[in-house]
Structure 1
Amino acid sequence: MASYRNISMDFWTDSKVVDDFTPEDRYIYLYCMTNPHTNLCGCYEVSIKQIANETGYNNDSVERLLKRLDSAHNVIRYSAQTKELLILNWCRYNWSTSEKLNKPLLGEIRKVKNDRFREYLAARYNERSTVTAQYNAAEDGHPEVPRHKHGAHGWVRLTEEEYARLIDDLGEEELTRCIDYIDESAQMHGNKNKWRDWNLVIRKCSRERWGIRAGNGSRSSTSGSAMDDLQQLHQMYASEESL
């Protein structure tokens, strides 16, 4: 385990942090990236009680802040069941292309208990240009988590856990709206942007109100609004592919 972590000075000028993060959000996010439990792959075990002891917050405050980093800011995921914390986009800033990284990185990914987290990390690992042997979940005794099709065209694929969590976070009506809108958008252009993380794009759709006319809050037609948003969708996926 590294004895220190490098944090770019751009953290303090990043528009997302400056505009959207409260002081508490910034503190807990820095903790997530620099605490002594962090590792190479960016997914590690840490309990709510441990976080509370190390940050000075009580358990309720820790749970509230982790939920904000997850649902409001989309920078982490936390599993209460396995007590694992996953930092999204950790790989972008902490994984090099060196072949020497392959073996230790793969070893850590195989130890991740949460199926969804391990699947996310495996996908990022297999995208690395220096990987000679890709991660295979079946070889580790971890069968791939089944994803079910949603939408009229079946482009949107979600695990049961992802779907249930989206209902809890967005509500059934909003989730259905986002799935229909995204599914139709992908169908129109054959998913030319190669979208993979449907959970992420659904949350993005809801948060940024894709497909809804400004002013009256009513839903615009999919065919017209999808064309308007395609450039935005493409730019988002060019810079932010994740869980």
Structure 2
Amino acid sequence: MAKFRYVYTTFWNDPRVVEEMTAEDKYFFLYLLTNESTTQIGIYPITKKQIAFDMGYSMESAGALLQRFRDHHELIKYNEDTREIAIKNWGKYNLNRGGKPILDCVRSELKLVKDTSLIQWVGEGIPNDSVRNVYESYYDTSTISGQKEKENKKEKENKKEKQTTEGEVGQSLVTEEQLVFLTKFYDENIQRASGYICECIEHMAHENDPALVYEAMKITALQQPNKPMQYTERILANWRKDFVTNVDQLKAREEREKNQRHQSSQSSYQKQNGRTEVVPEWFANRRAKIIS
């Protein structure tokens, strides 16, 4: 059965959309509101890989957009462990009516949510009392104020740690100085570093060694492809597949490839120019006959 999601035409006149969102932001936001994984409750499981596949983006771009909408626009929450996303003000447009069919659907879908803090976050913006009551049954309303204080405190601490941040397990330690350097190089040698580009660069620097990101950017600057950011991300993805995680490993791989090319060219030259001359026995023994 087909699913329907409401997107009001006033979306295009919203000051936040008009003034703060780039073209990529608008496209991404509409995707979050209308993709096949959406549910009636505004909370649904989806992976970065699925987002990247649906939108034709790389994993790095999908991750950067999620981070931008979570930290900058503050329109979503995303649980990295459960892979669940919650959309702010979802209920304002999609849950403004009650009725038994709606309430039954909401109850059945809320049972599947693993991160109940997302239920509270979405539930607070639901205008319909009967629907909001169903959401509230999944969390203790007496603890809302205390949880809000904890969340605000955590957000402030995260902003203070912006100078030197460390991401998830396996991510690189990135300093503000490195981010400034990478962004400046990209802006001066490849293309203008818009807000979205800056987000992508930061995400790449967290996912890879910043020195490797710089090496990939240098290659991109020389090639000047049509889509430089995606080209840079593809270079880094190929290096990761080859287990290249730092510049030393990259240099070692380049040296091996250079030696292989040299050996291959020598072998090719020998095949083309080298001759194995067959000497007749009478010619080889001619000098012995003369002497005798």
TM-score w.r.t. the length of structure 2 is 0.48
Identify the residue that residue 221 of structure 1 maps to in structure 2. Answer: none
Matches within 5 A, 1:41-80: 41-80=41-80
Q: Distance in 2 between matches of 1:137 and 1:11?
A: 30
Q: Which has more helix, going by share of residues?
A: 2
Alignment-mate amino acid for residue 118 of structure 2:
F
Taking a change above 3 Å as real, the CA distance of residues 136 and 63 of structure 1, as seen in their structure-2 partners, is same
1:171 maps to which of 160, 164, 175: 160
Is 2:149 aligned against 1:157? yes
Instruction: Quote how far apart the aligned CAs of 1:95 are.
Output: 0.5
| Contact kept in structure 1, 2:98 and 2:131, CA below 8 Å | no
Q: Distance in 2 between matches of 1:36 and 1:79?
A: 19
Structure 1: runs of 5 or more not aligned:
151-155, 174-243
| Contact kept in structure 1, 2:116 and 2:138, CA below 8 Å | no
Instruction: Quote how far apart the aligned CAs of 1:157 are.
Output: 2.3
Q: Distance in 2 between matches of 1:99 and 1:122?
A: 17
Alignment-mate amino acid for residue 46 of structure 1:
I
Instruction: State the SS of the aligned residue for 2:111.
Output: helix
Alignment-mate amino acid for residue 97 of structure 1:
R
Identify the residue that residue 190 of structure 2 maps to in structure 1. Answer: none
Taking a change above 3 Å as real, the CA distance of residues 148 and 56 of structure 1, as seen in their structure-2 partners, is same
Identify the residue that residue 114 of structure 1 maps to in structure 2. Answer: 115
**Pairwise CA RMSD of aligned residues?**
3.1
Per-residue CA shift, 1:112-165, capped at 9, x if unaligned?
11131023245456x632359654337xxxx88967969xxxxx6225xx6445
Instruction: State the SS of the aligned residue for 1:158.
Output: helix
Taking a change above 3 Å as real, the CA distance of residues 81 and 129 of structure 1, as seen in their structure-2 partners, is same
Q: Tell me which structure has the larger Cα radius of gyration.
A: 2
Matches within 5 A, 1:191-206: none
Is 2:73 aligned against 1:81? no
Identical positions, percent: 28
| Contact kept in structure 2, 1:115 and 1:145, CA below 8 Å | no
Instruction: Quote how far apart the aligned CAs of 1:9 are.
Output: 1.7
Alignment-mate amino acid for residue 171 of structure 1:
K
| Farther-moved stretch of structure 1 (55-64 vs 7-16) | 7-16
| Contact kept in structure 2, 1:110 and 1:118, CA below 8 Å | no
Q: Distance in 1 between matches of 2:156 and 2:39?
A: 28
Q: Distance in 1 between matches of 2:108 and 2:125?
A: 14
Q: Distance in 2 between matches of 1:14 and 1:42?
A: 20
Instruction: Quote how far apart the aligned CAs of 1:76 are.
Output: 1.1
TM-score w.r.t. the length of structure 1 is 0.57
Taking a change above 3 Å as real, the CA distance of residues 133 and 67 of structure 1, as seen in their structure-2 partners, is closer
Identify the residue that residue 136 of structure 1 maps to in structure 2. Answer: 137
Instruction: State the SS of the aligned residue for 2:85.
Output: strand
Identify the residue that residue 104 of structure 1 maps to in structure 2. Answer: 105
Identify the residue that residue 186 of structure 1 maps to in structure 2. Answer: none
| Contact kept in structure 2, 1:137 and 1:144, CA below 8 Å | no
Instruction: Quote how far apart the aligned CAs of 1:2 are.
Output: 4.5
| Contact kept in structure 2, 1:98 and 1:130, CA below 8 Å | yes
